[in-house]
């Protein structure tokens, strides 16, 4: 949440900053701002609204300089106003700071600073941090890069909370200082230029050489180089990594929205999630990143899967997959609940956390809580080098490439593929035969082409979306492997269209939900031809008997759904445990087209941010 970028080099900073900031707009988009050092002091521009507003302002009232910082905001403390937009300044007005995170003790710090004669212009926690660093710096006589770092250290030792920050100071031109704790910060190493950002996507036009900073690290950078130290003042070792994706991967290409582009990438991303991980000769999956031997995996008695939002829905499918293929009991839990719940977890429990961004605050906290209790934790992440990916004892990357649309789509199907591989691996260790394992591999190999086939239904789904777009309420129903798909379909519609959508196990209808059914309330049934198909059919009949419109997602070749449902979308056949990968795609497209029909801001829905780094 919130995105920050810093640039120092030979180019004009405002252009580099805006270019980077636009790549981070998914992190928050209620206001934006930038500050540059232009030779005679700080130049500042701030605007309420999208980054386009800031861009317009900078075009109308240009600022210059080769060192600068900028920010796109998702409000936590203080409403959406120009005053609350970042950067914020210290008392002297010479220090400008951008921040992603939450300073929890800001009220106490602010009160103490006020006693000391400080006045504040905003309601933000960030302004308090700027004042704190500025006060420490003003206490020091020498005006140098080293002293700025020293002042930062002294200030951060007083702070409770999370931060990814970047700041500049008029008295020390050509320098940016950054630090992190709990919020991501990546250093980009260029030629005669260096950058700092919340996400590597912001700097791929300049460099693909990056250092993922760790918690409690401080970086000082200028055009020629950088130094990384710890909060305690020691030198810190670092690894330079190469960003896997290119500029092309973070652009929309010919698609009108990132969401549509990412939905259409799924034949590739589903393939990439299993690439190099299928071992037909052994009839199993190879997941070296788990860092666990077969003997250790054999000892696993129980599994807990955790995550938030879409990632949790993927985990719920994983629960069914692992229980079905490996017969290991699985419990799936909201990360926001798990972190505070005193879940009795037996000794040989393995914990999986799932997160596209690898930065979600609740998921990270759940992971840390489980580690504190001595459990081995494994991650299923997309964002390479992210905090969750790094803090886990092992894990599997999704390799889905950057996901920029706020609504998660391709990451979800990658999470399902990865979990099917985990289920296969565990199954083969426990009781699946070689030929059963091989059959599963053959079915997995067919999935990318089947996904491509589902995407051919796009035009038809767009027509169906038009028919139902004005609905006030929508219901989503599914059973077993596809109950979480109903949850995911409802979430997609809620977040992109703002329609009140709710999801239920189909059989729960008659326990209350059925009261909502009338001619204007469509029900979407996920009803593949699986073990519970007949049961789903009966539930559809119950809705039709009450004049409720029904959209059914079923299996190719089926002719019974068409007899009861108003609109039918048929996708290729697959084994029950793989049907969710195919069933979810029509729901992603349905949500997308409804949102477009309603004129919603598909990639940046109101009030949301892609990466939820606050509690």
DSSP letter at 414 equals H
d(CA 120, CA 114): 8
Place of tokens 């934006």: 32
3-state helix, strand, coil in the chain (%, to 5): 40, 20, 35
Instruction: Report the residue number, 419 or 536, with the smaller CB distance to ligand M6R.
Output: 419
How far apart are CB 412 and ligand M6R at their closest, in Å? 8
State which of residues 309, 385, 427, 489 lies at the interface with ligand M6R (CB under 6 A).
309
State which of residues 66, 76, 306, 356 lies at the interface with ligand M6R (CB under 6 A).
356
Q: How far is C-alpha 410 from the geometric centre of its chain's CA atoms?
A: 12
d(CA 30, CA 53): 10
Helix (H, G, I), strand (E, B), or coil: what is residue 475? strand
Listed in sequence order, the residues at least 6 apart from 549 whose beta carbon sits closer than 8 Å to its beta carbon are 468, 519, 521, 522, 523, 566, 567
- E-only strand ranges, 9-79: 31-37, 42-48, 67-73
Instruction: Report the residue number, 84 or 355, with the smaller CB distance to ligand M6R.
Output: 355
Place of tokens 């092309």: 248
Kindly indicate which of the ranges 273-281, 326-334, 406-414, 474-482 contains the residues binding ligand M6R, using the contact rule CB under 6 A.
Answer: 406-414
Instruction: Report the residue number, 136 or 362, with the smaller CB distance to ligand M6R.
Output: 362
Instruction: Report the residue number, 355 or 539, with the smaller CB distance to ligand M6R.
Output: 355
Q: How far is C-alpha 108 from the geometric centre of its chain's CA atoms?
A: 32
State which of residues 357, 392, 414, 471 lies at the interface with ligand M6R (CB under 6 A).
357
How far apart are CB 309 and ligand M6R at their closest, in Å? 2
| 588 interacts with ligand M6R by CB under 6 A | no
DSSP letter at 235 equals B
Nearest CA to 337 among 359, 314, 304?
304
d(CA 318, CA 254): 34
| 72 interacts with ligand M6R by CB under 6 A | no
State which of residues 391, 495, 558, 567 lies at the interface with ligand M6R (CB under 6 A).
495
Q: How is residue 341 written in tokens?
A: 């719940």
Asked whether 303 and 352 are in contact (CB, 8 A), the reply is: yes
How far apart are CB 388 and ligand M6R at their closest, in Å? 8
CA distances from 316 to 355, 376, 377 (A): 13, 20, 17
State which of residues 269, 360, 523, 536 lies at the interface with ligand M6R (CB under 6 A).
360
Asked whether 597 and 469 are in contact (CB, 8 A), the reply is: yes
Give residues 473-492 in contact with ligand M6R (rule: CB under 6 A). 491
| 611 interacts with ligand M6R by CB under 6 A | yes
| 266 interacts with ligand M6R by CB under 6 A | no
How far apart are CB 607 and ligand M6R at their closest, in Å? 11
Instruction: Report the residue number, 57 or 364, with the smaller CB distance to ligand M6R.
Output: 364
How far apart are CB 429 and ligand M6R at their closest, in Å? 28
Kindly indicate which of the ranges 157-165, 307-315, 447-455, 520-528 contains the residues binding ligand M6R, using the contact rule CB under 6 A.
Answer: 307-315
Element (H, E) at 426: helix 410-430
Nearest CA to 528 among 485, 467, 490?
485
Residues taking part in catalysis: 2, 610
How far apart are CB 406 and ligand M6R at their closest, in Å? 5
d(CA 446, CA 456): 16
Kindly indicate which of the ranges 197-205, 244-252, 349-357, 434-442 contains the residues binding ligand M6R, using the contact rule CB under 6 A.
Answer: 349-357
| 311 interacts with ligand M6R by CB under 6 A | yes
Q: How far is C-alpha 279 from the geometric centre of its chain's CA atoms?
A: 30
Asked whether 7 and 67 are in contact (CB, 8 A), the reply is: yes
Kindly indicate which of the ranges 295-303, 350-358, 371-379, 537-545 contains the residues binding ligand M6R, using the contact rule CB under 6 A.
Answer: 350-358
Q: List the strands of the sheet with 163-169, edge to edge.
A: 88-89, 95-100, 163-169, 176-181, 217-221, 226-230
DSSP letter at 560 equals S
| 612 interacts with ligand M6R by CB under 6 A | yes
| 100 interacts with ligand M6R by CB under 6 A | no
State which of residues 355, 392, 419, 521 lies at the interface with ligand M6R (CB under 6 A).
355
How far apart are CB 185 and ligand M6R at their closest, in Å? 17
How far apart are CB 423 and ligand M6R at their closest, in Å? 20
d(CA 71, CA 22): 10
d(CA 150, CA 399): 39
Kindly indicate which of the ranges 11-19, 355-363, 436-444, 515-523 contains the residues binding ligand M6R, using the contact rule CB under 6 A.
Answer: 355-363
State which of residues 308, 526, 532, 602 lies at the interface with ligand M6R (CB under 6 A).
308
Q: By beta-carbon distance, which residue lies closest to ligand M6R?
A: 309
Nearest CA to 262 among 462, 397, 403?
403
Kindly indicate which of the ranges 164-172, 240-248, 254-262, 403-411 contains the residues binding ligand M6R, using the contact rule CB under 6 A.
Answer: 403-411
Instruction: Report the residue number, 427 or 580, with the smaller CB distance to ligand M6R.
Output: 580
| 363 interacts with ligand M6R by CB under 6 A | yes
Instruction: Report the residue number, 30 or 495, with the smaller CB distance to ligand M6R.
Output: 495
Instruction: Report the residue number, 309 or 572, with the smaller CB distance to ligand M6R.
Output: 309
Pairing of strands 473-478, 523-526: parallel
The residue ranges that bind ligand M6R (CB under 6 A) are 307-311, 355-357, 360, 363, 406-408, 491, 495, 611-612
């Amino acid at each position: 949440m919130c995105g920050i970028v810093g640039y120092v080099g030979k180019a004009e900073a405002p252009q580099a900053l805006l270019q980077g900031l636009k790549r981070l707009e998914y992190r928050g988009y209620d206001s934006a701002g930038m500050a540059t050092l232009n030779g005679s002091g700080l130049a500042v521009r701030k605007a309420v609204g999208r980054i386009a507003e800031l861009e317009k302002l900078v075009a109308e009232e240009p600022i210059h300089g080769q060192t600068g910082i900028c920010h796109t905001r998702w409000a936590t403390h203080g409403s959406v106003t120009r005053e609350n937009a970042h950067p914020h300044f210290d008392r002297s007005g010479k220090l400008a700071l951008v921040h992603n995170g939450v300073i929890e003790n800001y009220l106490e710090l602010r009160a103490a600073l006020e006693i000391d004669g400080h006045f504040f212009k905003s309601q933000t926690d960030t302004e308090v941090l700027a004042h704190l660093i500025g006060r420490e710096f003003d206490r020091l006589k020498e005006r140098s890069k080293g002293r700025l770092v020293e002042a930062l250290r002294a200030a951060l030792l007083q702070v409770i909370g999370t931060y990814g920050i970047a700041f500049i100071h008029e008295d020390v031109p050509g320098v940016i200082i950054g630090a992190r704790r709990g919020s991501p910060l990546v250093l980009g190493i260029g030629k005669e230029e260096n950058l700092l950002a919340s996400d590597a996507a912001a700097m791929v036009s300049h460099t693909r050489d990056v250092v993922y900073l760790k918690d409690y690290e401080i970086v000082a950078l200028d055009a020629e180089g950088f130094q990384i130290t710890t909060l305690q003042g020691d030198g810190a070792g670092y690894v330079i990594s190469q960003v896997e994706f290119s500029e092309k991967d973070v652009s929309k290409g010919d698609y009108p929205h990132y969401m549509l582009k990412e939905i259409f990438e799924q034949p590739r991303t589903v393939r990439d999630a299993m690439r190099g991980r299928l071992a037909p000769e052994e009839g199993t999956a190879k997941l070296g990143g788990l860092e666990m031997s077969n003997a250790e995996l054999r000892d696993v008695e129980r599994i807990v899967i955790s995550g938030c939002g879409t990632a949790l829905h993927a985990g719920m499918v994983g629960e069914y997959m692992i229980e079905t293929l490996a017969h290991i009991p699985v419990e799936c839990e909201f990360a926001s609940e798990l972190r505070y719940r005193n879940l009795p977890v037996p000794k040989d429990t393995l914990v999986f956390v799932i997160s596209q961004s690898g930065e979600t605050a609740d998921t990270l906290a759940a992971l840390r809580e489980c580690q504190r209790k001595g459990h081995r934790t494994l991650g299923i992440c997309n964002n390479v080098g992210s905090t969750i990916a790094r803090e886990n004892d092992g894990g599997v990357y999704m390799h889905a490439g950057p996901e920029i649309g706020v609504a998660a789509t391709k990451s979800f199907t990658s999470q399902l593929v990865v979990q099917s591989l985990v289920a296969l691996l565990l199954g083969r260790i426990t009781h699946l035969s070689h030929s059963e394992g091989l059959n599963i591999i053959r079915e997995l190999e067919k999935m990318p082409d089947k996904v491509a086939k589902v995407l051919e239904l796009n035009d038809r789904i767009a027509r169906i979306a038009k028919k139902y777009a004005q609905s006030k309420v929508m219901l989503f129903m599914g059973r077993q492997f596809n109950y979480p798909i109903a949850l995911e379909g409802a979430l997609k519609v809620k977040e992109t269209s703002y329609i009140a959508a709710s999801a239920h196990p189909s059989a729960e209808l008659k326990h209350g939900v059925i009261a909502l059914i009338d001619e204007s309330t469509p029900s979407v049934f996920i009803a593949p031809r699986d073990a519970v198909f007949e049961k789903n059919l009966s539930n559809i009949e119950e809705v039709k008997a009450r004049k409720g419109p029904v959209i059914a997602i079923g299996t190719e070749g089926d002719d019974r759904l068409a007899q009861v449902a108003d609109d039918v979308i048929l996708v290729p056949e697959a084994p029950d445990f793989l049907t969710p990968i195919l069933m979810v795609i029509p729901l992603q497209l349905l949500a997308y087209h409804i949102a477009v029909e309603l004129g919603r801001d598909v990639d940046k829905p109101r009030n949301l941010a892609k990466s939820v780094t606050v509690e």
